[in-house]
């Protein structure tokens, strides 16, 4: 993972940019999320229970246009989602989230996003790592996560303090 960007509180900063999702009261400096070494693969019911009526903030494991990409996503109980992306280009779109067995899928009608995005969810601490489906629910290649999110009201356990 690139080391040229950091999360400070709930803000992702690059060398030359500052991305959104800031909560000034949380000024603890942290590194970008590391890959988990343990956790629990969530079932579809557990995903529904943990995601419904919540807003997750997080980041992707990749960069876009040489800038870190962070996001927030609100999961409403009527299956609607509001997605906000922060990076080189900030945008907000609405979509739908559904559970297919033990996989969460997002559907958007916006050219800036894939029409369908489906993930297995590994919960480690209070963080939710998203892995592109299909894949084995094992603990091999956990560094190949797509995104990591956490409840916007909590301090994430997946971004350790800088020493």
pLDDT in tens, 26-71: 323 333 678 898 999 999 999 999 999 999 999 998 877 777 789 9
Q: What is the pLDDT of residue 1?
A: 33
Extents of the domains making up the chain: 36-151
- From CA 40, how far away is CA 138, in angstroms rounded? 10
For 17, the token pair is: 């940019």
- Using an 8 Å Cβ cutoff, are 4 and 17 in contact? no
Which is nearest to 33 in space by CA: 65, 64, 67, 70? Answer: 70
Q: What is the pLDDT of residue 102?
A: 96
- From CA 26, how far away is CA 29, in angstroms rounded? 9
Q: Give the H or E element holding residue 45.
A: helix 44-51
- From CA 113, how far away is CA 130, in angstroms rounded? 16
Q: Which DSSP state fits 126? A: T
For the chain, 163 residues long, the average pLDDT of each consecutive 10-residue run is 35 33 31 80 98 94 81 96 88 96 95 92 96 93 93 84 45
Question: In degrees rounded to 5, what are phi and psi of residue 73?
Answer: -145, 125
36-151 architecture in CATH?
A: Beta Barrel (2.40)
Q: What is the pLDDT of residue 57?
A: 94
- DSSP states of 97-131 as a string? EEEETTEEEEEE--TTS-SEEEEEEEEETTEEEEE
Question: In degrees rounded to 5, what are phi and psi of residue 132?
Answer: -55, 130
- Using an 8 Å Cβ cutoff, are 14 and 4 in contact? yes
This prediction has a pTM of 0.77
Q: What is the pLDDT of residue 32?
A: 61
Contacts of 163 (CB under 8 A, 6+ apart): none
């Amino acid at each position: 993972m690139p080391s040229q960007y950091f999360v400070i509180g709930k803000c992702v900063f690059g060398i030359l940019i500052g991305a959104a999702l800031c909560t000034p009261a949380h000024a603890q400096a942290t590194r970008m999320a590391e890959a988990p070494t343990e956790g629990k693969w969530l079932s579809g019911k557990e995903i529904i229970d943990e995601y419904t009526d919540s807003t997750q903030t997080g980041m992707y494991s990749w960069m876009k246009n040489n800038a870190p990409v962070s996001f927030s996503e609100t999961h409403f109980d009527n299956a609607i989602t509001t997605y906000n992306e922060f990076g080189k280009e900030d945008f907000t779109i609405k979509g739908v989230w559904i559970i297919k067995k033990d996989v969460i899928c997002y559907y958007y009608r916006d050219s800036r996003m894939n029409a369908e995005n489906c993930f297995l969810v590994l919960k480690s601490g209070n963080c939710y790592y998203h892995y592109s489906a299909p894949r084995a629910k094992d603990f091999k290649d956990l560094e190949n996560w797509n995104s990591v999110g956490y409840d916007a009201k909590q301090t994430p356990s997946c971004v350790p303090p800088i020493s």
